[in-house]
Structure 1
Amino acid sequence: MILGVLLAVVGLSGVTTGSPIVTVPPNAASENSEKPTAVVVVEEAREEVMETGELNPNHYPAQRAAKVVQHYLNTLHGSPYKVFGLQKVFRAYAEDVPGSGRKYQLELSVQEMVKKTTANCEAEVIFPRKEDHPPLQVHVSSHDDLLNNNVSLQEETLLYQQYKRNHSLLFAQNLPDSNGHIEPEHIPFWHLGAVASSFVMLSESTEDTLYNMAQVANITQLASNDDPLKFEYDVLLHEMVSQEIIAWKMLVTWSPSEGVKVLKMEKREYSVTNLKTTLL
C-alpha cells in the first residue's frame, strides 16, 4: 500500500526563512539529476532519551539531534539542486544546561545528496526545556567544501528562467509514485519540496521526534509578478518514533538570488485511495 511505499522511499530526506534562532560561522549554501536517497540506519536498541554523557551515535538520541543539523543546513543553503542529508554520526555527547535545556555536541558527516559531496563537521544542538518553548539553537562548524559548487548555480538559473517564462504553470502529484518513480523534469521540485519540508521539520523537532519527508503529494506553481517562483506544496512527513505520517501544506518561494522561503505552513488531514494521496 501507499504508506509502505512512502516509508521505503523516505530519505530526504524558507515568512519563515530559518525558523529557529540559529548561528553558523560565516561559511556554510544551494544541485539535480539523480534522486537523492539518504538512509539513516538506527539501531533497534534505544537509550534513555534523557541520558547524559557519551551517547551511542547509532541510537535514537544522537540521531535525533543530528537530523536537526540536516534540516538546519537545508533551511540555510538548500535549493532544487542542493539537498543535505545526514550520512553518519561519529560521536555524540549530551549534557543538561541549567536555564537552557539539553545540549548535544556532535561529530558527524553530511552529504550533499545531488552531487554526492561529503564533509565532516562538528555541531551543537540545544533542545529547550519543554515548558519554555523557545526555538532550537543550532551551531555548525565551517564546511565550505559542501557549498562551493558553481554548477548548481548555473543549473538553478536555467531552471528558474524556464519556469518563469512558461505560459503553463507546473502541476505534479505523488512524487514519488507508488512504484518509487519520479519523472526527470520533476526531480528538482522534489528536491525543493524536501528543502521546504526541512523548515517544518526543524520547527517541529524535539528530543522525542525523528522526521523525514516521505512524499510530495501535490505541487502547484502559482502565478506571481514577483521575481521568485511561487509554489503550493502538500507533503507527507514520516515521524519515525511514533510511525505517524503527517500532512503539511506550505506556501514556498524560490529564486537563485533569494533562495528558498516558506511563507506559510499548515498541518493538514489526508486520505489515501487507489494508491494516491489526497489532502482534505
Structure 2
Amino acid sequence: MLHSKPGSFRRYLPSSELLAAHEALIPCLAPSPLFQSIPESGHKYYLQFSTEDYRTGEDAGNCLATVLYPKKKSPPVVSIKCSHTKDQQEIQEEDNRLYQRIRHQSKPITGSNIPDSYGIIEPALEPVWALAVAGSSSIMWEKSTETLAYSLAQVKSVRQWIRKDDFIEFDYTVLLHEIPTQEIISCHMRLTWLPGRPLKVKHFCAAESRGGDEGSGAESGSAAAPAAEKGANL
C-alpha cells in the first residue's frame, strides 16, 4: 500500500465525516509519485494524516484515506478510516454543549470578519466559526479537483435565524482560498443543524473568473457520525 506524507487536520464540529474527507483531498495537490493510475477510472491517491483537537491542539487520532479523482467531471470519491482518542459518547456530549451554548444566547448571533485582520476570533463567535468550517467543507469537497483545493479564509458575515423548532440556522457569507491559484471565492451558505441529525447546507458561490455562478445543496455528516470518521469537535 502506498503512503502519503503525513498532514494535519484540526477537529471541528459537527460534520466530521465530510471534514475528514475534505482534509484527505488537500495533500493530493503536493507533488508526489504516491498515486495509482487506473485505466478508464482516474487517479487514486493513498494518504495518511493526523487530527488534533480544535481547542487544545492535542492529538485526536490518525486517518488513512484513499481518494479517487474520476476522469469524468465529478466530485472525488473518498474512502476514509480513522482511529480516535475520544469515544462517540464523548463526541456527542461536546456536540450538545456547543448546541446549548448557541441556543441559550439572549439574542440572535451576528458577526463579521471572522477571524479579524489579526487572525483573532472572539470567544463568543467561536461556535459560529466552527459551524462555518463544518458547513463550508461541503462546498470545498464539491469544488475540489486533482489540481485545485480550498480552505476557509474568513467568515465575511454571519446571521442567525430564529426558528420555532429545535434546529439552529445561520446565513453565512464565506471567503474560500483557492489553492494554488490564490483566488478568493465568495460563497453564500445557509446552514441548519440539530445534534444527532445531518448538517444541512445550501450554498451559492460567485464564480466571476469562470464566467458563471455555482450553486448547490448538500446534506453532510452528522455529529453522531461513526467513530471512525468523527474528526470534528470544538
Q: With structure 2 as the length reference, what TM-score do the two structures score? A: 0.71
Query: 112, 120, 124: which one pairs with 2:66?
Result: 124
Show the 5 A alignment for 1:44-59.
Answer: 57=5
**65, 71, 77: which one aligns with 1:137:** 77
Please tell me whether the aligned partners of residues 75 and 195 of structure 1 are also in contact (alpha carbons under 8 angstroms): yes
- Relative distance call for 1:125 and 1:172 in structure 2 (3 A) is same
Instruction: Identify which of 8, 32, 54 aligns with 1:113.
Output: 54
Amino acid at match of 1:208: T
Give 1:209 shift.
Answer: 0.8
Question: Percent identity between the aligned chains?
Answer: 30
Separation of aligned partners in 1, 2:144 and 2:197 = 25
Find the partner of 2:42 among 101, 104, 114.
101
Q: 1:258 aligned to 2:200?
A: no
Superposition map of 1:193-212 within 5 A: 193-212=132-151
Alpha-carbon displacement from aligned partner over 1:23-55 (angstroms, at most 9, x marks no partner): xxxxxxxxxxxxxxxxxxxxxxxxxxxxxx979
Q: Residue by residue, what CA displacement relative to the aligned partner does 1:134-186 show, whole Å, maximum 9, x if unpaired? A: 3321111242x155264553343244234335452111111111222211111
Q: Using the alignment, how far apart are the partners of 1:154 and 1:118 within structure 2? A: 16
Where does the alignment leave 5 or more consecutive residues of structure 2 unmatched? 209-234
1:171 aligned partner:
110
Distance 1:168 1:258 in 2: 24
Match of 2:127 in 1: 188
Question: How does 1:154-169 map onto structure 2 within 5 Å?
Answer: 154-166=93-105, 168-169=107-108
Aligned to 2:171: 232
CA contact (8 A) 1:54 1:92 kept: no
Q: 1:215 aligns with which of 151, 154, 157?
A: 154
Q: Does 1:267 align with 2:197?
A: no
Q: How many angstroms does 1:227 deviate by?
A: 2.4
Structure 1 residue ranges without an equivalent (≥5): 1-52, 271-280
The alignment yields a C-alpha RMSD, in angstroms, of 3.5
8 Å CA contact 1:236–1:247 kept in 2: the answer is yes
Q: CA deviation at 1:222?
A: 1.0
Residue 248 of structure 1 is matched in structure 2 by 187
Which structure 2 residues correspond to residues 145-160 of structure 1 after superposition, within 5 A? 145-148=84-87, 150-160=89-99
Contact 2:115-2:154 within 8 A present in 1 as well: yes
**Distance in 1 separating the partners of 2:3 and 2:137:** 25
Give the TM-score, by structure 1 length: 0.60
- For the 8 Å contact 1:92–1:104, the answer to whether it is kept is no
Contact 1:102 1:127 in 2 (8 A): yes
CA contact (8 A) 1:215 1:235 kept: yes
Structure with a larger share of its residues in strand: 2
Deviation at 1:124, TM superposition (A): 0.4
Q: Give the 4+ runs in structure 1 shifted more than 4 A.
A: 53-56, 149-152
| Secondary structure, counterpart of 2:50 in structure 1 | strand
Distance 1:105 1:176, change over 3 A: same
8 Å contact kept, 1:103–1:124: yes
Distance 1:213 1:173 in 2: 14
Instruction: After TM superposition, give the deviation of residue 118 of structure 1 in Å.
Output: 3.2
Partner SS for 1:126: strand
Corresponding position of 2:225: none
